Each structure stands twice: as C-alpha cells, then as structure tokens.
Amino acid sequence: MASPVLTLFSYFRSSCSYRVRIALNLKGVPYVTVPVNLHAGAQREAEYALKNPGKKVPTLVVGDTPISQSVAILEFLEESPPFEGKEPRLMPSRDDPVKRAAVRVLCGQIGCDIQPVANLSVLRRVSALSRHFGQTAEIAESEGKKWAKETIEEGFEVVETQLKETAGTFAVGDKETLADVYLLPQVYNAKRFGIDVAQSFPRIAKVSDTFSKIPAVLAAHPHRQPDCPPELREQ
C-alpha cells in the first residue's frame, strides 16, 4: 500500500506535537510540518478548527483525513496500514500484556494526569483568576508558572516511583516504547518551568537522556523545528 501524504500541524514547543514528531521520525515516516503558532492564537482560527475542533495541536492530516489527539495519532501509526509493523514498534508485543500495561500506565500518567493540567489554556486561567483576586499582572503570570511547575513535580514523583519497577535502558525495559515518547517531551517542559530533573528525578533523567540521544529523536527536538525562533535554534 502506498504511503499517504502526511501533514503534521505542530508547534515547536508543544509537548504533544513533540510526541508525534518522535514517533514519525523513529519509524522513518516522511511528513510535512505546518507550524501553528499557539502564542499568536493560530489554533483558534476557523480554518484550523475545521481540522481540530479542540483547537489544539497536534493534528496529523493523513491524505485528506485529519486526526487529532496525540494518543489517537500514535496508535494509528502503530496499528494502521501502511505503517503498522514499522520498526521500531513502540508497544511491547501482545504476548506481554503486563509490559503493555506498564507502557500505558506511564503514558496515562503523563498524558492524562500531568500535561492537561499544565497546558497553556489552564495556565492562562490560573493567571486570570489571580488577576481577578487582585494580583498584579506580573504576579498573576508567575502564579501560572508556579502551578505548572508544581503539577509536573507532583506527577514526576509518581513517574519516578513507577520507573523503579519498569525501567531498563528505557522507561519500560530495554527497548524504546510509547512511554519514552511521552516522557521526553514532558522532561523538556519540566526544564522550561525550572525543574532540575537530573537532581530531583534521577531515573527519569537517565532514561530520557538515553532516549534523547537517538538521532531520529534528536531531530524531533523543539529547537530543531522550522518554527523555532532563531535565538533558541539548534542545528
């Protein structure tokens, strides 16, 4: 089956877009990136909302079909022709349901319990509430950042404990999985909010550092994306 044209609507710093870039790069699936500038509000423009009614990134357009939600995109790449079976497979084999569950636990911990609670729209609401209760704009903004930092720290405590049972070279065993695909972008976010990951979460730091060095993973890094501003850009 011929590979359909894939277009990824992405923002360089979005951790959910970063997940999808990692999976596409690891599997060597070609795609075109279309940047959506979240800070300029491009995700709320009517034309984009037709592809993604949730008004968030990422969206992967497969041929003419838009798929939103990074979990749906990642599972689509694992399960659907012509991509299914492409190495590396990012879910353990069906013969190992316990390992599959361990991967899903980590993905859920990050994708359901951390990222949505510290998302841009939530931070804006935290800041707006702070303003409502009389804080200055500066304090209100720092309240939003504090919220994100604390949310990630609390979530990473859980991930760090889980890794004690599951980690090998990577987050679950010795092969890269979707757990790594979720973890590395969240580590990037953690650092942005001032968390010293190496100091506070050594197991997370170790496995994510190993994963980050895979060339296909490195190419998905936010600072290597076409919409990364020049002052942050890396080669």
Ligand X SMILES: N[C@@H](CCC(=O)N[C@@H](CS)C(=O)NCC(=O)O)C(=O)O
6, 8, 26, 57: which one contacts ligand X (CB under 6 A)? 57
**Residues contacting residue 227 through CB under 8 Å, at least 6 positions apart:** 10, 11, 12, 33, 35, 37
**Around Cβ 164, how many Cβ atoms within 10 Å?**
8
CB 90 within 8 A of CB 74: yes
Q: Which is nearer to ligand X, 26 or 74 (CB)?
A: 74
120, 129, 158, 218: which one contacts ligand X (CB under 6 A)? 120
15, 109, 127, 166: which one contacts ligand X (CB under 6 A)? 15
Q: What are phi and psi of 60, to 5 degrees?
A: -105, 120
Q: Is 38 in the site for ligand X (CB under 6 A)?
A: yes
Q: Which is nearer to ligand X, 6 or 57 (CB)?
A: 57
10, 25, 33, 70: which one contacts ligand X (CB under 6 A)? 70
Among 45, 43, 36, residue whose Cα is nearest residue 13: 36
Site string for ligand X, 169-208 (x = CB under 6 A): ----------------------------------------
Among 211, 201, 196, 189, residue whose Cα is nearest residue 164: 201
What residues make contact with ligand X under the rule CB under 6 A? 14-16, 38, 43, 56-58, 69-71, 111, 119-121
